[in-house]
Amino acid sequence: MHGMSDFDEEFDFVVVGSGGGSMCAALYLRARGKSVLILEKTDLVGGTTARSGGVMWIPDNPFMRRDGVADSYEKAATYLDSVAGGQHDAPAASEVRRHTYLTQAPQMVQFLVDQGIRLTRVSYWPDYYDDRPGGSSEGRTVVAELFNVNELGPWKDKLRPSFLTVPAMLEEAMALPDFRRSWKSRGLMLKVAGRAIAALLTGKRFVSAGAALQGRMLQAALRAGVDIRTDSPGVELIVEDGAAVGITTLRDGQPWRVRARLGVLVNAGGFSHNQRMRDTYQPGTSSAWSNATPGDTGEMIEEMMRHGAAVAQMEEMVGYQTTLAPGSEQDDIKPSAQRMTAAPHAILVDQSGVRYMNEGGSYMAYCKGMLLRDKTVPAVPSWAIFDSQYIDKYMLAGTMPGRKKPQRWYDEGYLRRSDSVAGLAREIGVDPAALVGTVARFNGFVANNADEDFHRGERSYDRWLGDRFHKPSETLGSIDTGPYYAVPVLPGDVGTYGGVLTDEHARVVREDGSVIKGLYATGISTASVMGRTYPGAGSSIGPSFTWGYVAAQHAVNNSGDA
Ligand SMILES: Cc1cc2nc3c(=O)[nH]c(=O)nc-3n(C[C@H](O)[C@H](O)[C@H](O)COP(=O)(O)OP(=O)(O)OC[C@H]3O[C@@H](n4cnc5c(N)ncnc54)[C@H](O)[C@@H]3O)c2cc1C
C-alpha cells in the first residue's frame, strides 16, 4: 500500500476536465461536506459545454410542470425506448441506464435549482423524433438564464465564451434573423439592444447559452469552496489493486500526485480534435470540420483504456452539418448548415445529383446519413441546391439574406450559380438529367405538400427547423426561380459521442463487466445513454450533468467499497 507520503496533495474527490458534469458533481459533494478538486487542462473553464447552446434534454422537468406541459416518466421512457431501445450494439443505452437517466435527470435539475442556479426552459423546441410514441412536440429542454459574467470577479476572464455573443436567450436569438418579416422579431431586437445598452451603463456583461450555464455553475462551485485549477491536465490515473485512488497532474511543469479518497470522475470530453482516433473509429470524418473546443483530444479515454476500461459506440459523433465558406476554415465555430436544406426552396443531393434523406432530421441523423450514403455514392461533400427565393429570404453560411455574397465565394468555387438547373448541374459536375429530375420530383412533392420519398415536414421538428412564415408548408418550397445555386455541405460535428462504458452508477466498466473501483466518467468521455441516436436538443449536456450527479451520489454513499 502506498502511504499518504506518496501523494503531493489529497482531496475527497477529483474531477478531470471542467465539462458539464464536473461542477454539478462538485456541488453535490460540497453539499455533503466533501472536498473537491477540478483539474482543467486548458486556460479556460467550461469546456465545449460553455461554448454550446447550453441546452439539457430533461424529460418531465420542473419547468414543464411550471408551464403546464404534460410529461411523465412513463411517456419519456416510451419515447427513449422507441428511439434508443433495442440497439444491441449500444451497451451504454441499456434499459437500466435509460431508467436511471430518466429518474435522475429531473432530480439533478431540482438539486441545481435548490443550489440557486437559475434555470428555465425553451418554450417550444420539439423532440427530434416527436412523431414517435412518447415524443414531445413542445420539447424537454432546460437552459440557464442570462448571466452577468462580471459577478465572477477575478474568474470572469477564465470562463470559456459561448458561440452566441449577443446578450440574448437562445430562444430570442433564434427569432432575431426574422426581423425583416416579423414585428415580433423587430420588437425582440429592440429589447436585446436595450438590454445591451443598459448592461453597458450599469457595468454588466451578460453571457448566454452554454456560457450562462457554466458561468452560473462556476459561480456556485467557487462559492461552495470547490478548488478549480486551469492549465492543469490530468495525465495518469493512479491505480492501486485495480482501484483508482488518484491522478497525476502537472504543477509548474512537474508531475503532481493527487489522492482522491472517494474517487476520480473523468469529464474530459471526447476526441473530436484527435485525427488519429478519428481515423481509427470514424474514418472519413475530420477534426477540421468540428466545432468542439480545442481540449477535445481524447487522451483521458485512452488513459482509461490503458487501465482496462471497455469502450463502446466509438463510431458515433454528434454530427452537425457545416458549409465551409472561404475564410471560415480556421474559425472556432464553423458556418452552420443546420437549417439550410430544411428551409423551403432547398434540398440536399449527393454527387450524382440525387436526393437521399429527409433534410429536416436531427443534425446527428443528417451527418450519419451523409456518411452512410458515401459508402455507396460519393456524398462527402454533398450539395445544397437552392434557388433565388431561398437566397433572398434566408441566411447562407453566416451571411444575411440577399444575393450579394463575397466575390471570393464565386472565385474560389464555393458558391456555384447558373440560370438553369441543368446549368447548375454542369457547374457541380453532375449529370444534368439527374439533377433536373431530382428537382422536378421535389417540386411535385411541394405542389402536393407531401414529400413521398422522405416525409420531410411530417414531424413538428422538421417544421420547426423550417420557416414558420412559409405556407402551407414551413419546410417544403419550390425550387423554380433562377438563378439557381449550390454550396458544398460536410458532415461536421459538435463532439464525439462514444467513449468508455459506464454502468448505472457512472462507474467505468471493464470488458468483462466488472467495474474499475473509484473510477467514474461522464459526458462525451463515455458512450452515450442515448445509444446511436439524438432524441432531442440537449442530449449531450443533459447526460453529462446527470451522470456527474449520479457519480457524486455513488461516491459519497458507497465510500466503503469505492
Ligand atoms: C456551438 C455548439 C452548440 C452546442 N449546443 C449544444 C446544446 O445546446 N446541448 C447539448 O446537449 N449539446 C450541445 N453541443 C454539444 C455539447 O456542447 C458537447 O457535446 C458537450 O458540451 C460535451 O460536454 P462534456 O461535459 O462531455 O465535455 P466538455 O464540456 O467539452 O468539457 C471537457 C473539458 O475537459 C477538458 N480536458 C480534456 N482533456 C483533459 C485532461 N487530460 N485533463 C484535464 N482537462 C481535460 C477540456 O479542455 C474541456 O474543458 C453543442 C456544441 C457546440 C460546439
pLDDT given at position 560: 55
Atom of ligand 1 nearest to the CA of 22: 25
Contact yes or no for 556/32 (Cβ under 8 A): yes
- 370 CA from centroid of ligand 1 (Å): 24
Residues 141 and 127: their CA atoms lie apart, in Å, by: 9
Comparing C-alpha atoms, which of 386, 385, 459 is closest to residue 135? 459
Place of cell 432530421: 361
Task: Look at ligand 1, atom 13, and give the residue with the nearest C-alpha.
Answer: 52
Comparing C-alpha atoms, which of 348, 353, 393 is closest to residue 367? 348
Which one of 39, 43, 49 would you pick to mutate in the ligand 1 pocket, going by the greatest count of ligand atoms within 8 A of its CB?
Answer: 49
- 212 CA from centroid of ligand 1 (Å): 14
- 17 CA from centroid of ligand 1 (Å): 9
Give mean pLDDT in consecutive 10-residue pieces for the chain, a chain of 562 residues. 73 97 98 98 98 98 97 98 95 98 98 98 97 97 97 97 90 84 87 89 94 98 98 98 97 96 98 98 97 98 98 98 94 94 98 98 98 98 98 93 95 98 98 98 98 98 96 97 98 98 98 97 98 98 98 90 44
Domain regions of the chain by residue span: 4-18+226-316+498-557, 54-223, 321-491
Neighbour count for residue 399 (Cβ, 10 Å): 14
Atom of ligand 1 nearest to the CA of 295: 47
Cα→Cα distances 531→290, 302, 310, 404, Å: 21, 20, 15, 43
* Type and span of the H or E element at 116: none
Task: Look at ligand 1, atom 50, and give the residue with the nearest C-alpha.
Answer: 52
- 48 CA from centroid of ligand 1 (Å): 3
Task: Look at ligand 1, atom 39, and give the residue with the nearest C-alpha.
Answer: 268
Alpha-carbon dihedral sign for residues 239, 245, 247, 251? negative
| Helix, strand, or coil (residue 360) | coil
Predicted confidence (pLDDT) per residue in 114-163, tens digit: 999 999 999 999 999 999 999 999 999 999 999 999 999 999 999 999 99
Contact yes or no for 514/86 (Cβ under 8 A): no
Neighbour count for residue 154 (Cβ, 10 Å): 7
Cα dihedral 258, 260, 265, 269 in deg (nearest 10): 0
**Domain 321-491 is of which CATH architecture?**
Alpha-Beta Complex (3.90)
Atom of ligand 1 nearest to the CA of 544: 25
Ligand 1: residues within 6 Å at CB? 16-21, 39-42, 47-49, 51-55, 163, 233-234, 267-269, 291-293, 295-296, 299-300, 318, 333, 494-495, 523-524, 537-541, 544
- 482 CA from centroid of ligand 1 (Å): 42
- 464 CA from centroid of ligand 1 (Å): 26
Extract the runs of DSSP E, i.e. beta strands, from 211-366: 227-229, 234-240, 243-251, 254-266, 311-312, 317-319, 346-349
Q: Greatest CA span in the chain, whole angstroms?
A: 78
Grid cell at residue 338: 443546420
Comparing C-alpha atoms, which of 303, 321, 319 is closest to residue 311? 303
Atom of ligand 1 nearest to the CA of 294: 47
Atom of ligand 1 nearest to the CA of 303: 41
CATH code for the domain defined by 4-18+226-316+498-557:
3.50.50.60
Half-sphere exposure (Cβ direction) of 177: Cα atoms closer than 13 Å: 17
- 293 CA from centroid of ligand 1 (Å): 7
Asked whether the domain spanning 321-491 has the same topology as the one spanning 54-223, the reply is no
Which one of 52, 162, 213, 258 would you pick to mutate in the ligand 1 pocket, going by the greatest count of ligand atoms within 8 A of its CB?
Answer: 52
- 539 CA from centroid of ligand 1 (Å): 12
Atom of ligand 1 nearest to the CA of 497: 19
Grid cell at residue 308: 482496462
* β-pairing verdict for 119-120 and 493-496: unpaired
Predicted confidence (pLDDT) per residue in 336-365, tens digit: 999 999 999 999 999 999 999 999 999 999
Neighbour count for residue 414 (Cβ, 10 Å): 20
Contact yes or no for 489/340 (Cβ under 8 A): yes
Grid cell at residue 244: 483508482
| Helix, strand, or coil (residue 9) | strand
Contact yes or no for 513/504 (Cβ under 8 A): no
* β-pairing verdict for 147-148 and 206-207: antiparallel
Comparing C-alpha atoms, which of 82, 28, 88 is closest to residue 59? 82
Which one of 541, 545, 546, 550 would you pick to mutate in the ligand 1 pocket, going by the greatest count of ligand atoms within 8 A of its CB?
Answer: 541
Which one of 494, 520, 550 would you pick to mutate in the ligand 1 pocket, going by the greatest count of ligand atoms within 8 A of its CB?
Answer: 494
Place of cell 470547490: 226
Which one of 540, 545, 549 would you pick to mutate in the ligand 1 pocket, going by the greatest count of ligand atoms within 8 A of its CB?
Answer: 540
- 291 CA from centroid of ligand 1 (Å): 10
Contact yes or no for 148/203 (Cβ under 8 A): no
Predicted confidence (pLDDT) per residue in 447-483, tens digit: 999 999 999 999 999 999 999 999 999 999 999 999 9
Beta-bridge mates of residue 247:
237, 258
Task: Look at ligand 1, atom 4, and give the residue with the nearest C-alpha.
Answer: 52
pLDDT given at position 200: 87
Which residues are within 8 A (CB) of 451 and not within 5 positions of it... i.e. 6 or more apart?
358, 442, 445, 457, 458, 476
- 446 CA from centroid of ligand 1 (Å): 39
pLDDT given at position 85: 95
pLDDT given at position 562: 40
Task: Please state which of the four CATH numbers 3.40.1360.10, 3.40.50.800, 3.50.50.60, 3.40.50.300 is assigned to the domain occupying 54-223.
Answer: 3.50.50.60
Atom of ligand 1 nearest to the CA of 523: 26
